[in-house]
Structure 1
Amino acid sequence: VVPVHINVPDLCPRYGAIVVNGVRGAKTPAWMADRLRAMGSNPKGNLLIDGSNYVMYELGQPTHCFDISKLAGPKIIVRRAMPGEMLKPLDGQAIKLDAGMLVIADASKPAALAGVMGGFYTAVSEETDAILIESARFHPPTVRLASKATGIKSESSYRFERGTDPELPMKAARRLAGLILEAAPGAKVEQITDNCPVKYERPVVEIAPARVNAILGTGIADGEIYACLKAFQPDLKDSKPWKFTVPSYRQDIETVWDASEEIARYIGYDVIPAVSHMPMLPSAVTPQWAVGLEMKTTLAGLGFSEVYNYDFISVKEMKACAFYADMALEVKNPLSSDYQFMRQSLLTGLLKTLRYNLNRGRETVQIFESGTVYSKAEAGKAEEVHCAGLMAGAFPEGGFWQGGQGSAGFYHLKGMMNRLFSGKGGFRFEKPKNAPGYFQPGLCLEMKLGGNSAGYVGKLSAAVAAAFDFKDNNIFYFEIPLTSMAAAWKPEFWQKISKIKPVSAFPQNWRDLSIVLEEKHEWAELERSFSGVQDLASARL
């Protein structure tokens, strides 16, 4: 028997524990691994780890497995950390605990940081034979403070910080134990403990229909409001004011104001009359806005889908994309380590979107995003709007009309850039003098518009692809600062129309010329030398 003691019931009102023996070598079933991949999680192959993650995604309740042979005692004590105590979490980076942090300890030392991450020295492995399944409820502010102080952000802390269902811990623990018993026939449950020093009682909110309509500014019938509440509480009595018992999984409903908002959402926000006395002011079109809209329309016509991502990135992502650390803007009070820096490029968000789509069975991905990028400047910081996109996988989507299908390639994207910049005088490709570090050397071009840089297009490096868990680096990417195109924008319609040129007096004629030059000469250099020749319509290499 593993005793469970809760020394701080105000921070841990419930702690469930199930002891299971005979789990050595338990492997993750194929169906579970497939579902984890579909949710964006990489299965480890160990049922104890993958099963715990699976239950968390399925029910929303984090669980954790301790190796009982590594617990001193064995015993579980939920207490505050003592001054000077250390903990080596699962990621292997030892941390010094602040006095007051909530920990799960054994008889001699902290074994886990409650609600955040388990300890390295009590973690399960392939040799683990007996485990203790933990499923508890922790005080959300305490978990958040510990996560922020240690810089550890996990799927577990994300959920505990926002509050979990008080009635879910034992259900989740039993679910995990059931999955283990199904996959490991030799496993056996030895102990079930539900230590609940503070019993949860569902709050009751008095709701009067007149009060709801006064809050929402509506005239919803009493019967509709009652039907909405009864959908949450089938045994609700029809006596006003209604005594509405809040479900345990809706910790956000505390007052009649919260309940009114839920009623409006359930019935439909369209019942709230739209009344406004604000005068409409005329809007002005800026060159950057006009260029951005034109670019979005063109990319959509080329088969790209627009996406939106956060402006924040992590240290890991910044290093993986070879961004300049000295130019990065750090957020003073980030929500987590995943949002520690402002993005210098749109690349990280697009790669995460690509991974999300590929994990869900997409064979062709063509996406773009228009957003702000940030960097340090003499004045403190600089913001600039960029448009970036990538393509990967089969091309074109659905295959060719004559049958067959190819793969997205460098020249496909290069051709699309030609289409995007068509009609812009002075557009050309040049060999980059200082290409971004995330491109593969030799497969990157700088786009020029007049004398200004109009961005880069190329193939991502193998290192970047590996850092984001892609099987290969057949990912082709472009990024364009809108300021370059805004400078060449023509505000009037007649300025956008190409000028008529006289038709050549000579008939069309093709010539195949063989020219021998040293290898140091590039095609762009040759093209510039004859691009102004009169009556020359086109030249191909």
Structure 2
Amino acid sequence: MNISFQWLKALVPDLKASPQEVGETLALRGAPLEGLVDLAPGLEGLVVGKVESVEDHPDADRLFVCRVDPGSGTVQVVCGAANVQAGGLYPYAPPGSTLPNGMTLKAVSIRGVESQGMLCSEAELDLGADADGIMALDGDFEPGAPLAPALGLDDWLLDVEVTPNRGDLLSHAGVARELGPSETGEVALPPVPGSGGDPWERTGLEGSTATVPLRTGESDAVGGGVTVRIEAPEFCSRYLGAVIRGVRVGPSPAWLASRIRAVGSRPINNVVDATNYVLMELGQPLHAFDLSKLGGSAIVVRTAQDGEIIRTLDGEVRKLGSDMLAICDAFEPVAIAGVMGGADSEVSHETTDVLLECALFDPKSVRATRNALDMSTDASFRFERGVDPEGMELAVRRAVEIILATAGGRPDPEVLDACPSPWAGLSVTVRPSRVKALLGITLSKAEIMGLLTPLGYRVVDGSGKDDSLTFAVPGFRSYDTVREVDLLEEVARTYGYDRFPSDLGPFRPGTVPDHPLFQLEDELRDLLVGEGFLEAQTMAFAPESDGVVEVSNPVSKEEAWLRTRLLPGLVRRVEYNFARGLRDIRLFELGTVFRKGEDGEDGAPQERPRLAITLTGARSPMHWSGAPAEVDLWYLKGLLERLVEAARLQGVSSVPGTPSGSGLVPGEGFTLVAGEGREMGFAGRLDAGEVDAPAWAGPLWVLEIGLPEVPGPRPVPLYEPPPAFPGVDRDLALLLPRGIEVQQVEAVIRETAGPLLVGLGIFDLYEGEGVPKDHRSVAFRLRYQSKVRTLTDQDVEQSVTAVNDRLREELGVETRG
């Protein structure tokens, strides 16, 4: 939001702060500055010059000799611009002055004719791109007047960052309310130069400083031969139409044009500039129609017919849809509601009668129309965030007063007011006890009132239970102040965030436990961080090749789908680290993947929690005692088993082999399957074609598993006393035929050995001489132990014999002699 510092000072006469100090104050109130610009750098010494005569140069075809009055006598200036005319006003730079580009002027002779200074173009003043012609000054200026004030540029431009919920700050009055609050939150508007007072005094009707004489109808209002009718009350709850007859459209006076320039806009004419002035001062968008160009002298607010055409003020021809709100005359659209007016009904120099529009449009409707037409304007920006429903009459009065002062004319006795849905005020209650509980500070009722009433909140009930206070919410804050916590935010903001104590006071933590899935994710984080992993968070968007659910409003066309896997985004993070010379990388991500809903394209997408990890390089950090081992498949499998156990995945096992489409190297990975054969994840070495890795990088090992949406209860650790009786170990060297997996052998051993088996592990793997072809020798160590007695050799031998017999019968596994 562009804010003029001089305009602010006019609204807050007691403002003593500098532009920089104003920026600091606004930042503490939640509206920091995005920029602070001096509007008049390099214009010192430049003045307004009046050209008294223009003659051809005696010795040059394309040059002219001008007699210029800079306020201190006539001087001679040689000029090459054909647009210079006698009687015109132009920027004049005298000898000795310095232009914004750093060039210092002096009196020179041009083709034998002396030139004392120069008349300047927009480009030479760094005020625009036009370098072909001299910059003409429109308005009532005195020769010799300093140029910067004449252009309204002796000012600072404050670029205020406004959050979407603070539409009230999209005006000078809104910002002034933050800087110089009165006791009631009202901002005193400066007088209009040349104003004759109440615009309706000459009609014989009484007015006031905040209201206008109205002719109100529920859906239509008729007066003075003009009709205003609302046919779409769900999109427009109120429409004011003020008619001004006999205006003289022309250039705006200097004070009005300078205000418009100061906020970065271009003056157009006195009527249009009046509407833009009110837009910037009060935040209420207005639009002026040429009444003679409105068919049937009517305004009809309705939804457009599908395919209706309108040529807007920017010269573009736009096709409207049936869901868009249009402002029409009796026959066709003349404006796009809340966005832009039509070129065929705009105010021109031939206009004599004006209909001034002030409306309250639905923010969602304006936003949808603006998005569909791919256009954004100052008006739509404000309507989307909500304009003040209580400030419409004041905006009309202000605009009419400015038009009468600058363009003359006479307003119709009454303003037409179609109002099918009158605005109902809102009240919100705040409790001092809640202030203390939420903000940690103690404030009395009087202190709370002192903080809120200057912002426009009015106490309507101060005798509630628990010393509560009920405030009427002003219209300009009715969009974002609807709950008690919203008022508490205003209390904190106005009290000053910098005044809150820095010490941590006593508090009671919440008693609601986290969701079991969140608890599980925290446990997995702790486990992986303990293993040296870093957590990554990647975007949930993916190209079409990695997604099945399309995003209706994608951030980019390249990532217009929701991801089905976490690994692609995580692999991109590995590539990012590779590109910066890192070799040992351990990353994990806990995130959500998406599938189509049960109803196909029309159903809501399904979300599934997943865990993915990537690791490459050494197993442990470098140490002087020796080079660390590299990550391999077995390290990854051990990590997979620990994660399956930590994730409380019941009935899940890992089987050798990689699923299709996983991008893993065949034969170097595992698939995680549930009891019914459902795939739950995978782990293994990523194919080199799936990652952009440098030559010095090691293999990239990856893992991705699904997590339960509602995890089972956390296992309760049980105490067991140390064994009182010794254990017995037995080693079995078994010959496993090709195709028999170790986990099959382990399952048979555990089922057959009985309850005395307390430990089972592998301590040797051998293939080579002495081992039959297509076999491998795997050595298992079985540990037997009883809690109540010392085991005998017979106890152990019986179990081992039973194990060997069953392995031979079911799996064809023999003991190695």
Q: Which has the higher contact order (CA 8 A, sep 6+)?
A: 1
TM-score, normalized by length of structure 2? 0.33
Flag the structure with higher helix content: 1
Rg (Cα) greater in structure: 2
